[in-house]
Chain A
Amino acid sequence: MKKRFQHPINILENISGKLFLLIIPVLRTLIYVIIHGELAGWLQGAWLDLLVVLVILGSGVYRWAFLRYRYSDKGLWVYKGILCTAVLFLPKEQISYLSRQEPWYLRPLGAVKLQADTDGGGKRNYDVSLTITRKESVRMVDTLFSVRLEPVEERYRAKTSRIVLYTLLNTNNLSGILYFAAGFTTAMRIFGQQLQYILREGVRWIADFFSNSLSPALAVLAAILLLFWAGIFLAHLFYLLQFRCRRSQNILRLSCGLVSQHHTHMMVSRINSVTLVESNLSRLIGMGYATLRCSGYGKRDGTNNLLVPSCSMKELRQEISTLLPEWKETENQLTPHHCIWRYLGFPAILMGVVTVLALIPGLLVEGIGATLWTVWGLFWLPMSWLFWLRWRGYRHAGIGVKDGWVTIRTMKGYRLTTTLVHRGRIVMAQFRQSPFQKRAGQCDLICYIYGEGRDRVVLPGLTETEARDFLLRLGILMPEEA
């Protein structure tokens, strides 16, 4: 196969980072035409503007012209540069992730972004990222992953209500702030003063509108937070709508997106782990979701490594066993012992301290009883919620193995997680002991899972001898090491 060029739209993508250089012709136009009103002077120096535009375009064309690719059933080759050249070859069997992203602005042009990733390479960047025609990308995925040759075996399509629920429960303000900060920085660079004016006027309007009922500062803060949340919620929602999953032999294909479309292909044999998550909010309505770790997936998009969005835990298990039947979940064979304090200590102490703090002034000072008990109640409500969560975490924690498939149940933050991983994908196991645990013969077991970044699962409060026996049975520890 001949070496091919990327889609010509790639020239514009290449120059997008250099558009700030246009400030030179814009400033010159401003000075000559608007301030001095000298059209002749501006025309005389037009060569400078042309030169700047040519330099910007030239750099884009250079990068487009000297990046070519070819592919065959053996792998994908990328050729870069003319003076300093580089040849990158991704063997077919090493490619774990291929994705075709069709952003809204590329769809009318029939172009897509194709990303390929292997277990090697950077943590944040894809090994290969190309902008090519849609037809070509489909052909490439077919060739590299032999998608057409393999019959579709299992399908799963998420209901819109579940996507909405998942997005609702998993949208937080922090990601919203980060998302909008990035957006605003870019917008400020382009629009500058005008955007600042619009923002200032918007803030003033909100402050005026709420001035009768709320403090203006609080009203503005609440409005900003709500705006961030709504923005990120909508962005996530549009990203994940029409989420569907298809399994054909060794390929798992995920598609999503309403305006921009994303098609992801993954080698099942290269999936590192699958995790079932029950967050503190989703737990209330008996829902959970599943994520998976595979090199490349979720690296620079908004999918959060999603495999199955919100549904009941029973349905979740059913879907996973349908899509990935070889991934076997098993019951806990080793659970934390005599370490309930480790889980419940923090909320219990906090509840005790708050009660004492409420009792002392309540007994000493007259007339503040009602207010004090209201404050006490307000503290107790989240604390008892935390207590209940930790209790569930304690009951949930454990580890088990069946036919080489390890199931690790633990608590990450306030989420209950069930991680399924093959024994061969656990690259390192570590025992961690605090001085108290050493005395009691206990330890925390930390399992490091194979992948690009650091991925580890911590299981606290196991009995040390039992944990060693378990790792021995798993084949991670050798008899002489145990």
Chain B
Amino acid sequence: MKDGRSLPKKAFVLWEAVAFIATGVLEGLLAVLLHRWFFLRLWTLWLLGLVAVILVFWYLPLRYLNTEYKLESHSFWLCKGVFWQKTVCIPRNRVSYVNTFSDPLSRLCKLRSIRISAAGGSVWLFFLSEPEAQRILYALSPSFEEPL
């Protein structure tokens, strides 16, 4: 996308961190639950490890690199996808409302997620920097008036 903006690097770090933590927790759980079945445990843990490696070193970097957005005077553009690339355009006057979301981790990194809803569907933008989220929010929903 021409003149498109990427997500902040912190978002990528957060994705990777969440993937690491989730894999660690899942591996730990499986190790405890399957402690009686040695081979099953071994294979499951190896398989999960492989999925985690693909996710962390291939899928998430590509997803991060392929996600771009652009706020124009008349519309909002979002380009995303790894296997199938999607470009979404929402005319500004068709935006119904915008939600913001945050969890303790993203608050710690000063990041926010937003969802833009319009008739017919909605798009998510995960882990934007706070000022950027605020900029998009105020642009698409001018009467929001609430600091993030």
Contacts and interface: CB of A to CB of B under 8 A. Distances in A.
Contact of B96 (A74, A83, A85, A121): A121
B6 interface: no
A120 B117 CA distance: 5
A87 B146 contact: yes
Interface string A48-83: 000000000000000000000000001101000001
Given A74-B143, A87-B146, A121 B101 contact: no
Nearest to B106: A84
Interface string B49-69: 000000000000000000000
Interface string B77-98: 0000000000000000001111
A55 to B, nearest CB: 23
B120 to A, nearest CB: 8
B146 A77 contact: yes
Among A87, A92, A450: residue with most chain B CB under 10 A: A87
A90 B98 CA distance: 8
A119 interface: yes
Contact of A88 (B99, B102, B145): B99
A89 B103 contact: no
Contacts, number: 63
A451 B99 CA distance: 21
Contact of A90 (B97, B102, B118): B97
Among A88, A118, A120, A121: residue with most chain B CB under 10 A: A120
Contact of A89 (B98, B102, B119, B122): B98
B141 A89 contact: yes
B119 A91 contact: no
A91 B103 contact: no
Contacts of B96: 90, 94, 118-121, 127
B110 to A, nearest CB: 14
A449 B120 CA distance: 12
B94 to A, nearest CB: 8
Nearest to A121: B117
A75 B103 contact: no
Nearest to A93: B143
Interface in A367-414: none
Contacts of B101: 84-86
Nearest to B103: A84
A451 B119 contact: yes
A92 B143 contact: yes
Interface string B19-38: 00000000000000000000
B46 interface: no
Nearest to A96: B96
A452 interface: yes
Contacts of B119: 119-120, 295, 450-452
Contacts of A450: 119
Nearest to A85: B102
B115 to A, nearest CB: 9
Given A84-B102, A89-B144, 4 more contacts: A89-B97, A91-B97, A91-B144, A120-B96
Interface of A: 74-75, 77, 83-92, 94, 118-121, 127, 295, 450-452
Closest CB pairs A-B (n = 7): A120-B96, A120-B117, A119-B119, A74-B143, A118-B96, A84-B103, A87-B100
22 contacts: A75-B143, A83-B103, A85-B102, A85-B103, A86-B102, A88-B97, A89-B141, A90-B97, A91-B97, A91-B141, A91-B143, A92-B143, A118-B96, A119-B118, A120-B95, A120-B117, A120-B118, A120-B119, A121-B117, A121-B122, A295-B119, A452-B119
